[in-house]
Amino acid sequence: MGKVEKKKLEMQATRDAYGKTLVELGTENHNIVVMDADLSASTRTELFAKKFPERFFNMGIAEANMIGYAAGMALSGKIVFVSTFAIFATLRPFEQIRNAVAAQNLNVKIAATHAGISVGEDGLSHQAIEDVAILRSLPNMHIFIPADSVSAVKIVKEAARINGPVYIRMSRPKTPIIYDETYEFNAGQANILIDAPEARVAMLATGNMVYEAMVCGEKLRSEGIPVIVVDVSSIKPINKELIVSVAKRARLVVTLEEHTIVGGLGGAVCELLSEEYPTKVMRIGINDVFGESGTPSALFQHFGLTAEHIYRKLIKELR
Amino acid sequence: MDEQKRIEFEKELNSLRRDILLMLYEAKSGHPGGSLSAISVISYLFLNVMRFDPANPLWEERDRFILSKGHAAPALYAILARVGYFSPKLLKTLRKLGSPLQGHPDSRKLPGVESSTGSLGQGISIAGGIALAGKMEKKSYNVYTLLGDGEIQEGQVWEALMAASQFKLDNLCIFIDNNGLQIDGPVSMVMNVDPIADKLRSFNLATMEIDGHNPDEIENAFEFFKSNKGKGVPTGIVSHTIKGKCVSFMENKSEWHGVAPSKEEVEKALDELGCIESLEDWLTEGITWER
């Protein structure tokens, strides 16, 4: 069993792409308003705040109220981006998001950063690993997870175009750039990154796990094991046709996410395939436990989310 | 307020109380106590203060009212029907499957409902957001919201008040319907919120206390709000009211928070309001009377 090699790629954080894209959007569209809950430096909304101070509102450390004010702004015709860490943007004000935003189908874009365990050293209180699961249960909600900073730009732009609520899940650390500028994004999108007519395994990955899946997929392919790797960037709506067609061509489906295995991408894929094309699904993610402190890379090792860990797990499973 | 205006207002108010009782009787569930405590201020607001156009519910310059204590929906529906947003006949459908008159107000179903409310503590934030948008766009509209006194136990209310002061929302007028009772009993026993006016003042609101059933004092409250415009401070009105106002057996009874009247009870209540004859009209035709 050889070592999994990682190619050196250019790195950028999805939140950096978000901050820059907001400024671009704000220049084009004067209806765009941004709110933050005292984390504008971290979420990068400070770039927008500097450029358009009259359209930026720091709501203080009061996320439930921020969602309500955003709903009021949206009811007044604004497109509102609200940002803070994912855990405070979704888990704390969930009921506000449900009743004020989703139920009224309002133009509030919850653009959260610092999702998942890649927050790192701050530990479990700051690591949202349940956000996709809870938001996925809401009618009208869109959920998009960029795999890199290039897709983050396109996703943020698509969120502004959509009429209705959107959740964008972004991360703290710099991550490898896997797409080039030709990348386009639409709601419901999933991209096949590595393909095979008949595969031993299909890896459906989202967010930061897309890169790990690609690295693992290349390694398996180099060893003669046919694989499919898909970036499921739109969790809701999810690309039913593509996922079913991939499941039909693979003996095993594996989901990969920096999120609890309960109710996120893994949950969505299991729900879908159990009804449309029953297939064995292996869910890789945070295995129904909370996170803890550590560097992002130490945590990815600890929770078995690196390409190396996934490779070993799959080899064992495929043997 | 001159005598004529007062008499006319009291007459309107009586009809609206009647509508609330009939609606709740028909629906067999809902919230009479808080609807009857709030209707005095709400009806004065719609009949004498706000600018709106029922034929054009989304008119940009309209004043907005957000019923933060959404369970007083019957009060809101009664006044919206009265001012012409929809036919009073719709009042008979309250809380029934398919009705736009949902148990708690739903902005997606009924014109005139500016925002869905019902989950306590949220309406004031939404009102704040609408007021903030108005400030940002230099619009002249005002935003009014009404909260229950039990509702202000929600922490979000105080977050919303902080923000209203921070953003100098002098286009926002916040009423607290201080009837002193919530479902489980007196507010002071469940979780005391007094002194409310001092709390609002300490959150930098221009604050006034009124008898929320006295038309002169209600009028003064809106004058007070008008006088605060341009001063960069939101207005807070603590409106002292009586839960179940004008129905003797409902007054000051927390048991009447969320129970609909029976046939005998609605007859007794309508009799007290001097409009027992309206029950027959209601039961046969829906609301057919001239106002």
- Residue showing tokens 């996410």: A257
Cα–Cα–Cα angle for A108, A111, A112, rounded to 5 degrees:
135
User: Would you say residue B282 has pLDDT above 90?
Assistant: no
Beta pairing class for A175-176 and A11-12: antiparallel
Beta pairing class for B185-186 and A281-286: unpaired
- Give the catalytic positions of A in this structure: 63
What is the DSSP annotation of A250-293? EEEEEEEEEEETTTSHHHHHHHHHHHHS---EEEEEE-SS---S
Domain span holding position A242 = 191-318
pLDDT at A2: 52
Q: Provide the ipTM.
A: 0.96
Pair A121, A208 in one domain: no
Pair A139, A36 in one domain: yes
Residue B265 tokens read as 């009870």
| Candidates A62, A64, A72; nearest CB to B129 | A72
Pair A209, A87 in one domain: no
Residues of A in contact with B65 (CB under 8 A): none
Cα–Cα–Cα angle for A270, A274, A275, rounded to 5 degrees:
125
- Asked if the Cβ–Cβ distance from A55 to B136 is below 8 Å, we say yes
Measure in Å the smallest separation between the Cα of A254 and chain B Cα atoms.
40
| pLDDT tens digits, B68-124 | 999 999 999 999 999 999 999 999 999 999 999 999 999 999 999 999 999 999 999
Beta pairing class for B181-182 and B185-186: antiparallel
Residues of B in contact with A70 (CB under 8 A): 129
Pair A127, A163 in one domain: yes
Question: Nearest residue on chain B to A96, judged by CA atoms?
Answer: B122
Residues of B in contact with A73 (CB under 8 A): 129-130, 132-133
pLDDT at B287: 57
What is the DSSP annotation of B30-59? S-HHHHHHHHHHHHHIIIII----TTSTT-
The radius of gyration of chain B's CA atoms, rounded to the nearest angstrom, is 18
Distance of CA A2 to CAs A219, A308, A311, B64, Å? 9, 10, 10, 67
Pair A46, A127 in one domain: yes
Tell whether A56 is covered by a domain.
Answer: yes
Using an 8 Å Cβ cutoff, are A112 and A169 in contact?
Answer: yes
The residue out of A176, A208, A238 marking a domain boundary is A176
Pair A155, A304 in one domain: no
CB contact residues (below 8 A), chain B span 93-132, against chain A: 106-108, 114-116, 118-119, 121-122, 124-132
| Candidates B127, B134, B159; nearest CB to A62 | B159
Distance of CA B81 to CAs A282, B57, B91, B137, Å? 57, 13, 8, 30
Beta pairing class for B172-178 and B143-148: parallel
Dihedral pair phi/psi, residue A57, rounded to 5°: -130, 115
How far apart are alpha carbons B177 and B182 in whole angstroms? 11
User: Would you say residue B261 has pLDDT above 50?
Assistant: yes
Pair A276, A225 in one domain: yes
Q: Which of B201, B143, B218, B163 is nearest to A75 (CA)?
A: B143
Pair A170, A199 in one domain: no
Listed in sequence order, the residues at least 6 apart from B78 whose beta carbon sits closer than 8 Å to its beta carbon are B16, B19, B20, B23, B39, B91
Pair A276, A309 in one domain: yes
Q: Which of A234, A237, A289, A280 is nearest to A260 (CA)?
A: A289
Dihedral pair phi/psi, residue A310, rounded to 5°: -65, -40
pLDDT at B285: 67
Task: Tally the domains of chain A.
Answer: 2
- Asked if the Cβ–Cβ distance from B125 to A59 is below 8 Å, we say no
Strand (E) or helix (H) holding A82: strand A79-83
Tell whether A5 is covered by a domain.
Answer: no
Residues of A in contact with B116 (CB under 8 A): 99-100, 103-104
Tell whether A6 is covered by a domain.
Answer: no
Pair A96, A168 in one domain: yes
Question: Nearest residue on chain A to B58, judged by CA atoms?
Answer: A76
Strand (E) or helix (H) holding B235: strand B235-240
Q: Name the DSSP class of A30.
A: T
pLDDT at B290: 46
B55 in reach of chain A (CB within 8 A) = no
Cα–Cα–Cα angle for B122, B127, B130, rounded to 5 degrees:
130
First and final C-alpha spacing in chain B: 22
pLDDT at A15: 97
CB contact residues (below 8 A), chain B span 154-173, against chain A: 155-156, 159-160, 162-163, 166-167
How far apart are alpha carbons A156 and A28 in whole angstroms? 14
pLDDT at B281: 84
Tell whether A182 is covered by a domain.
Answer: no
How far apart are alpha carbons A297 and A79 in whole angstroms? 36
Q: Give the number of C-alpha atoms closer than 13 A to the C-alpha of residue B289, restricted to the C-beta side.
A: 15
| pLDDT tens digits, B43-71 | 999 999 999 999 999 999 999 999 999 99
Does residue A237 have a cis bond before it (omega within 30 degrees)? yes
pLDDT at B289: 45
Domain harbouring A103, CATH code: 3.40.50.970
**Chain B contact probe: residue of A75, A84, A88, A98 with most B CBs at under 10 A:** A75
Residues of B in contact with A68 (CB under 8 A): 122, 124-126, 128-129, 156, 160
Domain harbouring A278, CATH code: 3.40.50.920
Which band of pLDDT confidence, cut at 50, 70 and 90, is reported for residue B291? very low
Q: Which amino acid is at B91?
A: L
pLDDT at B284: 81
Question: Nearest residue on chain A to B60, judged by CA atoms?
Answer: A76
Residues of A in contact with B132 (CB under 8 A): 57, 69, 72-73
Listed in sequence order, the residues at least 6 apart from B7 whose beta carbon sits closer than 8 Å to its beta carbon are none
- Residue showing tokens 């064992």: A316
pLDDT at B217: 98
Tell whether A183 is covered by a domain.
Answer: no
A54 in reach of chain B (CB within 8 A) = yes
| Candidates B106, B130, B163; nearest CB to A59 | B163
Using an 8 Å Cβ cutoff, are A72 and B127 in contact?
Answer: yes
Tell me, rounded to whole angstroms, the distance of Cα B34 from its chain centroid: 9
- Asked if the Cβ–Cβ distance from A69 to B156 is below 8 Å, we say no
How far apart are alpha carbons A86 and A131 in whole angstroms? 7
| Candidates A57, A62, A99; nearest CB to B132 | A57
Listed in sequence order, the residues at least 6 apart from A20 whose beta carbon sits closer than 8 Å to its beta carbon are A44, A47, A153
- Asked if the Cβ–Cβ distance from A75 to B129 is below 8 Å, we say yes
* Strand partners for A144: A168, A234
Query: CATH for B3-285, among 3.40.50.970, 3.20.20.60, 3.90.226.10, 1.10.10.10?
Result: 3.40.50.970
Q: Is B281 helix (H, G, I), strand (E, B) or coil?
A: helix
| pLDDT tens digits, B32-43 | 999 999 999 999
- CA torsion, ordered A223, A228, A229, A234, to nearest 10 deg: -170
How far apart are alpha carbons B223 and B208 in whole angstroms? 11
Mean pLDDT throughout B204-229? 98
Pair A34, A164 in one domain: yes
Tell whether A181 is covered by a domain.
Answer: no
pLDDT at A259: 98
CB contact residues (below 8 A), chain A span 134-173, against chain B: none
Pair A98, A160 in one domain: yes
pLDDT at A1: 46
Q: Which of A310, A255, A313, A304 is nearest to A279 (CA)?
A: A255
Using an 8 Å Cβ cutoff, are B98 and B86 in contact?
Answer: no
Domain extent listing, chain B: 3-285
Residues of B in contact with A82 (CB under 8 A): none
Using CB atoms within 10 Å of the CB of residue B61, give its burial: 0 to 12 exposed, 13 to 18 middle, 19+ buried.
exposed
How would you write the pLDDT of chain A (319 residues) with one tens digit per residue?
456 777 789 999 999 999 999 999 999 999 999 999 999 999 999 999 999 999 999 999 999 999 999 999 999 999 999 999 999 999 999 999 999 999 999 999 999 999 999 999 999 999 999 999 999 999 999 999 999 999 999 999 999 999 999 999 999 999 999 999 999 999 999 999 999 999 999 999 999 999 999 999 999 999 999 999 999 999 999 999 999 999 999 999 999 999 999 999 999 999 999 999 999 999 999 999 999 999 999 999 999 999 999 999 999 999 8
Residues of A in contact with B125 (CB under 8 A): 64-65, 67-69, 71-72, 96, 100
- Asked if the Cβ–Cβ distance from A73 to B156 is below 8 Å, we say no
